Amino acid sequence: MSFRIPIGPYHPALEEPYKIELTCEGETVRDAVMNIGFNFRGIEYLAERRNYYQGITLVERVCGICSNVHAMSYCMCAEKLAAIEVPERALYIRSIMAELERLHSHLLWCGVAAKLIGFKTIFMACFSLREKVMDALSAISGNRVNYGMNCIGGVNRDVDDPQAVLAILDELERAIGKDIAPIFLYDKTVAARCKGVGILTKEQAFAMGAVGPQARASGYAQDLRKAAPYAAYERFQFDVPVETAGDVQARAVVHALEMIESCKILRQALSTLPEGPFQAKVAPRFKAPAGTAVSRAEAPRGEVLYVISSDGKEIPSRVRVRTPTFMNMATVRLAVLGQELADSPLIQASCDPCYSCTDR
């Protein structure tokens, strides 16, 4: 006998509203239907009615956790349209902000995952470290969220004291490598709860267009920082963690290992920050030449894509945003099929979804 269980539009594992309807036979999930649209804010519509400078502030509100990468991608698109060369120092600072944001996002994800598993000690440890990341972001930008760092032609603020950020990084690197990462890699309790749960195969990840840690946990090695470098990433040495199991544990391992790689990138960027200006000269009334430009960046959850079309005026004629959750959310259905009903909240949360930015 089968029955349907509607979960949402508010979900026990997530604070953002969406709805999933599970069809179950006993305790086994046989089908799933997802519904979104509860958070629609019309940001693309509004961006086509604001000038380019106002658009930066607007798109930074697409997502609260990865706000910086949206503003950066928007500026990269405008810079392509206008053929603006961004100073080297600004490219480094953009990379620093992007990796601090990745640490912020991954620590939040690992904390939430630990809480769902029932490992509240690690939840507290992750959120304590997240505070230190936010301290570093605040030291650079003056803000803990929505940093206001990006502008067309560079960044709004310099990194005045790299050593202060490196001091915070020392503590982060030590705690992540010693306390956080080993738990997700080797702890038997985590393995018992997560191994073999919510499997997404490499073929399924490819077919559904999965991106970011969701794809890399299924053996699909893709990372724009390596495949299509932007900002200053081609100057840094780092690895792209890939797992092949495709289950919840593999996603946890990828997130943990990526935090270690982010610390490596940050150390290189802060230690070799070049001298020079951090802004290019841009007209106060910016007008992009007629045309269309595309920019891509590796957000914490995966590839963010921006498309801006211009007709030569101060306001873009079209702004298109594709967020990583938009690509990853369809994989949830495949991951929950054949799984226990009680595991569905953990499986959905393991995809690190952000439905606010998907509904944008």
**17: confidence class by pLDDT, cuts 50, 70, 90:** low
Per the model's pLDDT, the better-predicted residue between 2 and 135 turns out to be: 135
Give all domains of the chain, ordered by start, each with its CATH number: 41-314 (1.10.645.10)
Query: What would the pLDDT profile of 112-159 be if each residue is shown by its tens digit?
Result: 888 888 888 888 989 999 999 999 999 899 888 889 999 999 999 999
Give residues with Cβ within 8 angstroms of 256, minimum separation 6.
Answer: 106, 110, 176, 180, 181, 184, 185
Annotate 50-64 with DSSP letters as a single string: S-HHHHHHHHTTS-S
In the numeric block, which tokens belong to residue 187?
Answer: 């702890």
DSSP state of 178: I
**Mean pLDDT of all residues in 20-30:** 85
In the sheet that holds 28-35, the strands lie side by side as: 2-7, 19-25, 28-35
278 phi and psi, to 5 degrees? -115, 10
pLDDT confidence bin for 88, thresholds 50/70/90? very high
Contact 288, 78 (CB under 8 A): yes
Mean pLDDT across 316-336? 90
- On the question of pLDDT at 12 being above 60, the answer is no
Query: Tens of pLDDT along 276-297?
Result: 999 988 888 888 999 999 999 9
pLDDT > 60? residue 68: yes
Does the pLDDT value for residue 99 go beyond 80?
A: yes
Phi, psi at residue 199, to the nearest 5°?
Answer: -75, 130
Question: What is the arithmetic mean of pLDDT over 240-250?
Answer: 93
pLDDT band at residue 10 using 50, 70 and 90 as cut-offs: low
DSSP conformation class of 81: H
Residue type, 153: G
| DSSP string for 281-315 | ---SS--PPSEEEEEEEEETTEEEEEEEEE-SSSS
Mean pLDDT of the chain: 89
